[in-house]
Amino acid sequence: MIDVAAVRADTPGAAFVTHFNNAGASLMPRPVVDAITGYLVEESLHGGYEVAEARADELRSVYVAIAALVGADRSEIALTDSATRAWDNAFLAMEFSAGDRILTTASEYASNVIAFLQASERRGVNIEVVPNRPTGEIDPDALDRMIDDRVRLIAINHVPTNGGLVNPAAEVGTVANRHGIPYLLDACQSVGQMPIDVDEIGCDMLSATSRKFLRGPRGSGFLYVRTAMLERLSPLVLDLHGARWDSADGFSIRPDARRFELWERSSALLLGTGVAARYAMEVGLGAIWERVVSLAASLRAALAGVRGVTVHDVGSVQGAIATFTVQERAAIDVKAALADAAINVSVVTPNSARFDMEARNLPDLVRASVHYFNTDEEIDRLVAAVARI
């Protein structure tokens, strides 16, 4: 059981806003903010390189924390500045040739699809969307039937940007592993929301951000790459951190996942990400998942009872994200009206998940995403505010 009063006391922002934009960026808990600001102050007083040297052990321990969060080895983690950077680092390191097939899911995130389309233009690969089950999640049996010897990659999201849907990532992993096809999982919206174990899922690569359900800072994310996959990936961008300039005409790529990092980055944000990961593990990912599922389910049920409101989430498993429309009101106006009542929500447009939103003929949606520090009273406040619109 989560001590909600305690986690709220640890969340300075909870006193100012009713925050239902955790799928955008959550509210950082105090230990995360203190770690980041404290580190920046030290840099200003003692010098950035000098503080990094003095606190090298602490900075290295961030890899241990992130590895523990997803059930990986620390050598399989690279820290990046966003989930997209992490995902692109993996994707762009793969070799493709004309006629290769990439299988993805209907709810895939825009940035990933844009990279697919670019690969299609540049390298002639074919992008194919695996059908969904009638309940809305990717159908692993349909995926299995689509596989032939031209499939080079299975790349799906775990939880999409535009709804409560949770894709059956482990079932997809079973299919991918049975056929020996590399499997890239976009876990941007699932890390921090639920327990994640890369071995149970069976993914070879996983990308995530710090700022969403993990409650870390903006400008920080990470990539997991399975050891067996690492040597097959040659990063598109390498510097003297990801590789070694061994001789006048030779270099070697470092053996671990940090080949995907650049030497220069924000140590403060990295540290904050590590604190956020440890904080989430202390609260307990199982307990977090149980609470967000229950809060989001009661939010959806209450919204569905408001006249003129339609809830749009699909999936046989649904997590922390609830999406809805209010009859005759644009989503952006609903967001603005809620902001006037100090309630934060966001808007998702077809531009962020076009395959899915066009297939379901969806307009812009209001997205209300709960986290474990939200309360039933806050849900009542949101629903009452929506009812007044």
Ligand X SMILES: Cc1ncc(COP(=O)(O)O)c(C=O)c1O
For ligand X (CB under 6 A), the number of binding residues is: 13
Q: Which of 18, 21, 157, 193 binds ligand X (CB under 6 A)?
A: 157
> Rounded to the nearest whole angstrom, what is the least distance from the CB of residue 344 to ligand X in the complex?
15
Interaction mask 215-254, ligand X, x per CB under 6 A:
------x---------------------------------
Among the listed residues 18, 89, 161, 323, the single contact to ligand X using CB under 6 A: 161
Exposed / middle / buried, residue 16 (Cβ in 10 Å: 0-12, 13-18, 19+): exposed
Residue 352 CB, nearest distance to ligand X (Å)?
7
Q: How far apart are CA 321 and CA 295, in angstroms?
A: 10
Question: Minimum Å distance from CB 217 to ligand X?
Answer: 11
Helix (H, G, I), strand (E, B) or coil at 197: coil
CB of 189 to ligand X, least distance (A): 5
**Cβ 195 to ligand X, closest distance in Å?**
18
**Binding of ligand X by 80 (CB under 6 A):** no
296/311 Cα distance (integer angstroms): 11
Among 29, 160, 168, 272, binds ligand X (CB under 6 A): 160
Q: How near is the Cβ of 109 to ligand X at its closest, in Å?
A: 4
- Determine how many CB atoms are found less than 10 A away from the CB of residue 375: 16
No. of helices (H) and no. of strands (E), the chain? 15, 15
> For ligand X, which residue of 209, 266, 318, 323 counts as binding (CB under 6 A)?
209
Q: Which residue type is seen at 172?
A: V
- Rounded least distance, CB 79 to ligand X, Å: 13
Locate tokens 């061994």: which residue?
246
Stretch that binds ligand X, among 77-85, 130-138, 246-254, 265-273 (CB under 6 A): 77-85
Asked if residue 318 binds ligand X (CB under 6 A), the reply is no
Burial-class residue 15 by CB neighbours within 10 Å (0-12, 13-18, 19+): exposed
Nearer to ligand X, 18 or 22 (CB): 22
Dihedrals phi, psi of 160, to nearest 5 degrees: -80, 170
| Spatial distance between the Cα atoms of 350 and 107, rounded to a whole number of angstroms | 11
Q: What is the 3-state secondary structure (H, E, C) of 36-85?
A: HHHHHHHHHHHCHHHHHHHCHHHHHHHHHHHHHHHCCCHHHEEEECCHHH
Stretch that binds ligand X, among 25-33, 147-155, 185-193, 338-346 (CB under 6 A): 185-193
The contact set with ligand X (CB under 6 A) reads 82-84, 109, 111, 157, 160-161, 186, 188-189, 209, 221
